[in-house]
Every structure is written in C-alpha cells, then in structure tokens.
Amino acid sequence: MFTGIIQEIGIVKEISFNRITVIACKVLENMQLGESIAVNGACLTVTHFTENSFTVDVMPETLKRTTLKQLRKNEEVNLERALTLDGLLGGHMVQGHVDAMGTILSIKDDDGASIIKIQATKEIMTFVVKKGSITVDGISLTVLDRTDTTFDVSIVAFTMDNTVMCNRKVGDMVNLEADVIAKYIIQFKKMGVADSNITFDFLQENGFLSAG
C-alpha cells in the first residue's frame, strides 16, 4: 500500500518492452529485492538495484492500462516506496493499481496553486466524488468538482514543483486510481449485502459515491 505522497522524482535510464530502470537516490535507502515501488502510481516489483538505480519488471496488463508504455529514456517519473507499518499516512490509502488513464484538458493558475481538469472514463468516474480522494500519476489529490466525464483537482505549488506534474501539459495522459474505499462500498452494494440500511441514495447524499 502507498499514501500518494511522492518521495522523489526519478529519471528513466533504460526501458524495454517489460523492464524499466530508473535513476534515483532517496528511495534506494535500505531497498530490498522484491519490494514494491510505485512508478507514476503503478505498483511494480524491484528485481534489481544498484547504488544509484533500480529495475522493475512490468506486466503486460500494467502496460496496457497505464502510461508506462509511453515512457521514454531520460523522462522523469514519480516515485514512492510502499508504506511501512510505522510510516505516516500523509495522503490516502493507495493500492498502486491504476484503474484507467485520463487526459489533461486544462491547467489554470489559482493564486499560486494549479487547477487541473482531467477527462476520465465512465469506469472511474463512478467512484469520483466531490471532496473525495483520487490518485493522479501516484499523487494523492482532492476532487474539487466533477461532471459525468471530467473532474478538477487543485495542486499546491510545492507538490507541482516536486512531482512530474510540473512537466505535464494539456493533452497529456495521466494514470488514475480511484479511492479504494469507494470501490469497496459500491462492490458491497452490488453484492446485495443482506439487511443493510445503507442505500445508494444515502451514499450519494453523504459524499461516498458520485450521483453520476
């Protein structure tokens, strides 16, 4: 599990069809083979590392569902190691399982912060709730507003400057992961949990699910 708080920006050193090597520093401290690391929000397994880089293997399904297939040599990526039991949950619970890709429609300045509008699929918009959490390229963000096909997030200057969002522009694709709590709630309702007084209307009225 991750928190959506980016620890470092890495640089792609080498890339092949199913293997990526990233130059890094902070995340390499006490790294072990087989541990999980999120690269632009996608949970990957470390298969090799040196004093200044690490290598991860990427499954075909992950390539299909994420922007990792678009990475190029020397491109910057967001990095976060898996949460430890004594770690701080600074963002929200993030699995590192990218649900879909979204497209940046606009980036606007908002008194030092940035408001980013992202177009997303119906698959993920079901779980997007105003004032709820969403992960964009591994970054834990709060949804400001939503429509049936888009949502807005606000990014403070520090986060903008210390993540790959500083490189993003209109038309770029980003990795999206919906809030895991929203996923479980709607799945329980689909299963028809017996004797439950919680309805879809209740969840929508109280901000747990989107009305769209």
Q: What is the mean pLDDT of residues 9-36?
A: 96
pLDDT in tens, 157-202: 999 999 999 999 999 999 999 988 777 777 766 666 545 566 556 6
Say how many C-beta atoms besides its own lie within 10 A of residue 175's C-beta: 25
The SS3 call for residue 211 is: coil
Together in a domain, 69 and 120: no
Domain range for 36 is: 8-81
Together in a domain, 25 and 73: yes
Last residue of a domain, one of 33, 48, 81: 81
Q: What is the mean pLDDT of residues 130-154?
A: 95
Q: How far apart are the first and last CA of the chain?
A: 28
Residue 211 confidence (pLDDT) above 70: no
pTM (two decimals) = 0.85
Domain harbouring 155, CATH code: 2.40.30.20
Together in a domain, 168 and 115: yes
**Contact predicate 67/40, CB 8 Å:** yes
Beta bridge partners of 142: 133
Together in a domain, 74 and 18: yes
Together in a domain, 116 and 166: yes
pLDDT of res. 212: 46
Q: How many domains is the chain partitioned into structurally?
A: 2
Together in a domain, 76 and 107: no
